[in-house]
Every structure is written in C-alpha cells, then in structure tokens.
Amino acid sequence: MSAPFSAQPFDLVIRNANVATASDTFMADIGIRNGVIEQLGRGIAPGRKEIDAAGRTVTPGGVDGHCHLDQPMPPPARMADDFDTGTRAAACGGTTTVIPFAAQVKGQSLQAAVDDYHRRASGRAHIDYAFHLIVSDPTPDVLSRELPTLIAQGHSSFKIYMTYDDLKLDDGQILDVLETAKQHNALVMVHAENADCIEWLTRRLQAGGHTAPRFHGRSRPMLVEREATHRAIALAELVDVPILIVHVSGREAVEQIRWARAHGLNIFAETCPQYLFLSADDLGVDDNYLGAKCVCSPPPRDKANQEVIWNALIEGLFTVFSSDHAPFNYGGTHGKHPDGKEVAFPYIPNGIPGIETRMPLLYSEGVLKGRITVNKFVELTSTNAARAYGLHPRKGTVAIGADADLVIWDEREVEISNDMLHHATDYTPYAGIVLKAWPGVTLSGGDVVWDGTEFHPRPGRGRFLQCAAPTLLPKK
Ligand code: DUC
Ligand code: ZN
Ligand code: ZN
C-alpha cells in the first residue's frame, strides 16, 4: 500500500486512522500531497501538518449525487442556497462532492442551461462539483447533437421527470432519451410519479376545499409512484438500458424495483433522508401551514413505510443515498410562502433542505445503531454515487491517487437545530433529532474545510469535475 519514498514531507498526514471504504476497514496513516492521497501505511514519514485520528473512523467524503443549488425557478420561487452556501453546508456535513442539476427550460438549448449553471457555480463553490442535466425538451437537435456533445464534455447523467408540467416527458420522449443514453453510455435518473393522476387528484381535493399542506401527500399517494416506477422500468427494459429511480419513498415503489431486479433488469435506486426520518404526519395532522416545511415529492409516507425503506436499505436494494436538498425558505416571499402568502398545496414549492444532515443522520442512525456496516454507509453515501456518475476512483474511496476528500468522524451527541447548520435556508425539518455522531474534520483536496467547530471558507476552491461513463456495471 506504500508509494515510492519522497524526501519532501507530506503536506498533511492523518495518523492512526481507522479507515473505512466500501469494501474494507483497516488501520493506516494517510499521507497527502498536492490534494491527493499519496501514501497509506503504518508509520509513514512526517507531514508539515498532522492530525491524530486515533480511535476515530475515517471515511471518504460524501458524494451527494442529487441536490439542487441555485436552480432557476419560475417566479416567485427562488432557492435559498447557491453554490456558496450550499457547498458550505455540504462540507460541514461531510460531503465533498456535489452534483446538482443544470436544468433545461422547455424551448431552451441544453448548452444554454449548462452555460448559465457554470456562471452560477464559478468562483463560489467550496468543494468540487459536477452537473447532471435535466432534459425537459428532447428535440431532435437535443437528442442527436446536444446530448452527445455534453456527455462527451463530462455530463454523463441526466434526470427526466414523469411529472411537473414544465418538466415532464411523455413515454415516447422518455424512450428517445433512454435510447440516446444507451448509445452514448450515460445514466438516466428518473423522477417517477404519474402526472395525470396527481393532476386529477389535485383538482378534486381543491374542489372539496382541501388545500392545506397535508393534502400534498393525499394528491400523490403511493400508487402514483408505483405506476410510474413500473412504467419507467418497462420503458428501460424495452430500450435495454439501465436507469436509476430517484427518491424512492415507500413500499409500492420498492416492490417494483425488487420485481425488476428479480427479472434480471439493471434498475438502480436511490432513497433520501426524508423517507427514513420524516413521515406523513410532518405534513400536518391538521390544516396548520407549518406542514409546508415538509412538502416534497414524492411526499414522506407513514411510519410503516419508513421501516420498509430502512429494510430495503439494509438488504441492499438501494444503490445511493442522496439528500435531494431542494432549499426553499419557510419565511419571506420566495419559498414556502409565495409572495408572502399561505397558498394552496399545489403552489407550495416542492423540496426540503438536507445537504448537511444527510451523512450524520445515516452514520448515527444507520451505522451506530447497528443497522448497516460502516462499509455499507460508505457505499451508499459516497462510492456508488462516484461510480454511477463517472467520478470513481478519483472520488468515493480512500486509495493512493484518489483526491484527499475525507471525513474524520466524531462520536458525540448533537441535537440538530437550524442554528448549527451552514445552509442559508431558514429551517431544517430534522430539528430536535439527537444524533450520536457528526463530522469532526472534513478535508476537501487535502484542505481542512470543516474542523468540527468552524467552517474554513474559500469560495472558488471547488473545481468543476467532468464525469466519465458510469462504472456501476461490469464492463461488457
Ligand atoms: N422533488 C423534486 O422532484 N425535486 C426537488 C424537490 C422535490 O421535492
Ligand atoms: Zn425529483
Ligand atoms: Zn430532486
């Protein structure tokens, strides 16, 4: 595990680390030079700086493969976090790579969406970042020219929607996008909810005067997700291409994914903290508007479904665990109160913040409670996202030659409150949850960006990453 001897001291050595990767746990010192792990071994040469990690676990920094930062929204909605505050919060929660979305508006070229997103990110990010694409208008030019060009330029994954009027694709369009992904070795992420069912239910609920935030959940019952998940799987089977179903929320979608796997289909799946830690009750048990804080899609389900998602995670159904951080303030005029008003549920911006809490929630409640191994934790929060989105082995592991993106975990009690978080969003849905761990140090490219108490800002230190083809599947 040792690299050739160099006379120069390392920039940083982490001593006595209990290193956990997706496959192994071992004791090592970690020698870092120029932002890269150069040596792993026992008793390695000194560093100009040293951190003693004795008794602590060291994991790869998280790769959050599904988060939304400064994504243009139809007015008056505006995201509360941009690349500065979003990557600040990510770093303090142990995430060292984020992959938000360059979203195409219908009628816009994909390249224009990517150019605009580069302008939003440039000089602001504190950690490395890549862009997925959101394809909302798969014209012949997008399919035959723009997508292949952008995939070659490092955007090897894109999200498509089966709901939301301004984003949704019909089945024929989905087939076209899947075929392009197959031809050019890209991965399609699918938001699976049946748009027509949601619209029909929403009309009926509103006509009956049921407009409070909790009716958001009633407008998107599990069968809406089940049907769309089934359809997405069938469309992928027809084209013979893998897909990744994002933000799986409960039993019915889980059953579809299990069925697909049992039939030998390459269906990958993601879940998110909101489906383990929030429930339908958080949308409100009465008509209180506070439930707007937890309006996201798919909505959190009942407590029994939280268990289904935990069990599916434990058994290995999920490939990745992402935040789906979609930050809207509760107060003000751009978030959950559009133009400062309490509005009917269809007009509440969808999404909750969670970029900083994703890793500590799963480390504490998954690893320390004995539900999953630390290796499974690394796989779900880091390695598999790096593989799915073509960033492995530079990201997602602790290995010689990998970027020195690391987390040293402190096992200490932390009660989550919005005050302690580093996003710019004015609330967290996880307030009051008491965790048994938090990142004690986060290193991004060998720099300490979070020391357990203080964030060390350097907007612009985060680099844009070009993603290669996914490496989740064995090469044919
Ligand atoms: N649903 C999405 O599809 N995206 C962002 C947030 C949400 O709730
Ligand atoms: Zn989505
Ligand atoms: Zn999302």
Q: Is residue 218 part of a domain?
A: yes
- Structural domains in the chain (count): 1
State yes or no: cis peptide before 76, omega within 30 of 0.
Answer: yes
Paired sense of beta strands 438-444 and 447-450, if any? antiparallel
Atom of ligand 1 nearest to the CA of 246: 3
Atom of ligand 1 nearest to the CA of 68: 5
Does residue 97 have its Cβ closer than 6 Å to ligand 1? no
pLDDT score for 6: 61
Q: Is residue 43 part of a domain?
A: no
Contacts of 177 (CB under 8 A, 6+ apart): 135, 138, 143, 147, 158, 160, 169, 188
* Nearest residue (CA) to ligand 1, atom 1: 297
Q: Is residue 229 part of a domain?
A: yes
Residue 259 has pLDDT above 90, yes or no: yes
Closest residue by Cα to residue 285 from 275, 277, 294:
294
Mean pLDDT, rounded, for 137-165: 98
Read off the pLDDT band of 108 (50, 70, 90).
very high
Q: Is residue 383 part of a domain?
A: no
Q: Is residue 192 part of a domain?
A: yes
pLDDT score for 7: 67
Closest residue by Cα to residue 129 from 186, 68, 187:
68
Contacts of 178 (CB under 8 A, 6+ apart): 188, 235, 236, 239, 241, 243
149: domain CATH number is 3.20.20.140
User: What's the 169 CA to ligand 3 centre distance in angstroms?
Assistant: 16
User: What's the 164 CA to ligand 2 centre distance in angstroms?
Assistant: 9
| Beta carbons of 282 and 294 less than 8 angstroms apart | yes
Residue % of the chain over a pLDDT of 90: 97
Does residue 191 have its Cβ closer than 6 Å to ligand 1? yes
Average of per-residue pLDDT values in the chain: 97
Q: Is residue 24 part of a domain?
A: no
Does residue 387 have its Cβ closer than 6 Å to ligand 1? no
Q: Is residue 453 part of a domain?
A: no
Q: Is residue 395 part of a domain?
A: no
Domain that holds residue 173: 62-376
Residue % of the chain over a pLDDT of 70: 98
Q: What is the pLDDT of residues 360-383, one digit of tens each?
A: 999 999 999 999 999 999 999 999
| Beta carbons of 321 and 313 less than 8 angstroms apart | yes
Residue 2 has pLDDT above 80, yes or no: no
